[in-house]
Structure 1
Amino acid sequence: MFPQKLERAIENLYSVFSKYELNSKIIGCPCCVSDSDKDKIHSKELRDLQEEDLTRYALKAMTTFGNVNDFKHFLPRILELLVDDHLGVSIVVIFGKLDYGHWKTWEPDEQEAIEIFLFEWWEYYLKKMTYFDNDLFYGIYKLTKDIDQLLQLWNVNITENSFIIYVDFIQNHYQDFINEKDRSKDFDEKDYDKFLKWSKENVKNLEIGFYLYENENQRFAREISDALYVFEHS
């Protein structure tokens, strides 16, 4: 079960995209799409489709399997499965499909539903996970260009997972971030500077966190110390 706000965002996707009905016959390139692939996406109701039913379609959608309206039909279920990694296709591929389908030209309510979902997903991720996901963070940024919302949701609290994710970002990704300014993840210059400033402002939490965890969680305290070292020598 997802948190209530994320559940509402997913239900909103289903509602907004419900006007795109399932075609009885979806055209696929005979070299890339088998009859079995076609049968799988018609085998169950949309909400009941699983990884084994949708993975092949999600990988080939619009390029060699169906059109944009077909993709819109399956999109709510694809995104729902993607949240907890229950789809055999990466975030990069699915976000790339949105770009390929020119989602920023879709109906305003469709764009809004996707954006609401993406930010609810990010908030859910910050509360549940314990590592920084490049593909998710930069993918949402590339789709929305809203660094302010991403960082506003990422409230670094030293007693919550948001802090653990921040430690991982500094320890394992910060060096790459600052060394790839001209080619990093399609950042606009002003948004790159905002993210850099935010990263530096939250370093104080590393210092506070180290002393908090020094005795109760020595392994994590070492990771915080390593993150401080990375920051200080970058």
Structure 2
Amino acid sequence: MTEDLKISIETLYRTFSVYPFRNEMEVCQCCFSEADKEKLYSKHLKDLETDDLSGFAFKAMTTWGGVDDFKHFLPRIFELLAADDFTGDAFVVLEKLEYGKWKEWPEIEKDAIIGFLWVWWEDMVRSKPYFDKEAFTGIYKLTDDIDRLLDIWTIDLNDHSFSNFVDFVYSYFSDLKGKRAEFKDLDNAEIDKIINWTKANSGYFETGFFYFLDKDNELAEKASIAQFIFEHSGVRGN
């Protein structure tokens, strides 16, 4: 986790510390047991783990608690997401912001969330060896800024941004160029920007293949396949 990401998480804790924990949170008795509820009461906020928070995170504001309750736990939920310790779908958690009408929240809260999203995305493309499509589309829906998502994602053979790029093309480029089932939230203009960005970076396929051939043969082979997918997609490279 980068220093910038740590700072953004601390900003979340500081910003949302005005929302206290409520013992009397409304909860669907049919959906959650006393043991489920006790997990939230058992530790301090920063000590809660995925198992303690997952039930609440996915049901917050629908069958468990209200907006202010979600705001109380938001920093720890996002911290676990950033640490890649949160079991489940990042997209579902990010959608909770939309459900809670976060764009109507105070500016200081929106700024803290947006600041976190950008540094989290940069950390992901540099530290994860695979493309997180759920986080990518989730952040896009919240920020409506495909340009910044792509600008942040500069390719470097010395971190995971290259393997992230390879996995994106290997796993999703055919869908992007075809039925777009995985990218239904993006319109044609955003899709074109992603395709053009991929084209602009397509030279990394060959460069990365030779760079990793003796270092990581599996990644080199995947890069070769990704290059084949790209070159047969109808998009001409540089």
What TM-score does the superposition give when structure 2 sets the normalisation length?
0.91
Residue 229 of structure 1 is matched in structure 2 by 228
TM-superposition CA deviations, 1:47-68 (whole Å, max 9, x none) = 1111222121112111001101
Percent of residue pairs identical: 42
Distance 1:37 1:193, change over 3 A: same
d(CA) in 2 for partners of 1:58, 1:171:
31
Query: What displacement does 1:164 show?
Result: 1.1
Which residue identity lines up with residue 178 of structure 1 in the other structure?
A: K
After TM superposition, the score normalised by the length of structure 1 is: 0.92
Larger deviation: 111-120 or 219-228? 219-228
Structure-2 residue corresponding to 1:27: 26
Q: Distance in 1 between matches of 2:182 and 2:89?
A: 22
Question: Residue in 2 aligned with 1:189?
Answer: 188
Shift of 1:184: 2.2
Is the Cα contact below 8 Å between 2:176 and 2:191 reproduced in 1? Answer: no
Deviation at 1:214, TM superposition (A): 3.8
- Tell me the equivalent position of 2:236: none
| 8 Å Cα contact 1:58-1:89 kept in structure 2 | no
Please list every run of 5 or more consecutive structure 2 residues that lacks an aligned counterpart in the other structure. Answer: 234-238
Identify the range of structure 1 (198-207 vs 86-95) with the bigger mean alpha-carbon deviation: 86-95
Aligned partners of 2:151 and 2:223: how far apart in 1?
22
Residues 50 and 85, structure 2, Cα contact 8 Å, conserved in 1: yes
- 1:98 corresponds to 2:97: yes
1:215–1:25 CA distance, 2 compared to 1 (3 A): closer
Q: Per the alignment, do residues 50 and 220 of structure 1 end up closer, same or farther by CA in structure 2, a change over 3 Å counting?
A: closer
User: How far is 1:18 from its partner?
Assistant: 0.9
Letter of the 1:43 partner, please give it: S
Amino acid at match of 1:97: K
Change (3 A) 1:228 1:107: same
- Quick one: which amino acid aligns to residue 148 of structure 1? D
Tell me the equivalent position of 1:204: 203
Task: Call closer, same or farther: CA 1:182–1:172 in 2, change over 3 Å.
Answer: closer
**3-state SS of 1:173 partner:** helix
Decide whether the 8 Å contact of 1:33 with 1:64 is kept in 2: no
1:1-234 matches, within 5 Å, as: 2-181=1-180, 184-234=183-233
Q: Which moved more, 1:205-214 or 1:128-137?
A: 205-214
Moved more, 69-78 or 40-49: 40-49
Whether the 8 Å contact between 2:131 and 2:164 is mirrored in structure 1 is: yes
Q: Deviations over 1:174-199 (max 9, x none)?
A: 10111135882411332222111101
2:5–2:116 Cα contact (<8 Å) kept: yes
Matched AA of 1:72 = K
Go from structure 1 to structure 2 and tell me whether the alpha carbon gap of 1:34 and 1:197 turns closer, same or farther (over 3 Å shift): same
Tell me by how many angstroms 1:81 deviates.
1.1
Query: Would you say the 8 A contact 1:138–1:185 is kept in 2?
Result: no
SS at match of 2:183: coil
Mapped partners of 2:154, 2:125: distance in 1: 9
CA contact (8 A) 1:9 1:120 kept: yes
**In the TM superposition, what whole-angstrom CA distance separates every residue of 1:39-87 from its partner, at most 9, and x where no partner exists?**
2212221111112221211121110011011000110011111223323
Alpha-carbon contact 2:175-2:182 (below 8 Å) kept: no
Distance change >3 Å, CA 53–CA 214, structure 1 → 2: closer
Deviation at 1:36, TM superposition (A): 2.2
Q: Report the Cα distance in structure 1 between the residues aligned to 2:214 and 2:32, rounded to whole angstroms.
A: 57
What is the deviation of 1:21? 1.0
Q: How many residues align?
A: 233
Please list every run of 5 or more consecutive structure 1 residues that lacks an aligned counterpart in the other structure: none
Instruction: Report the secondary structure of 2:176's partner residue.
Output: helix
**What secondary structure sits across from 2:154 in the alignment?**
coil
* Distance (whole Å) between structure 2 residues aligned to residue 167 and residue 52 of structure 1: 32
Contact kept in structure 2, 1:130 and 1:165, CA below 8 Å: yes
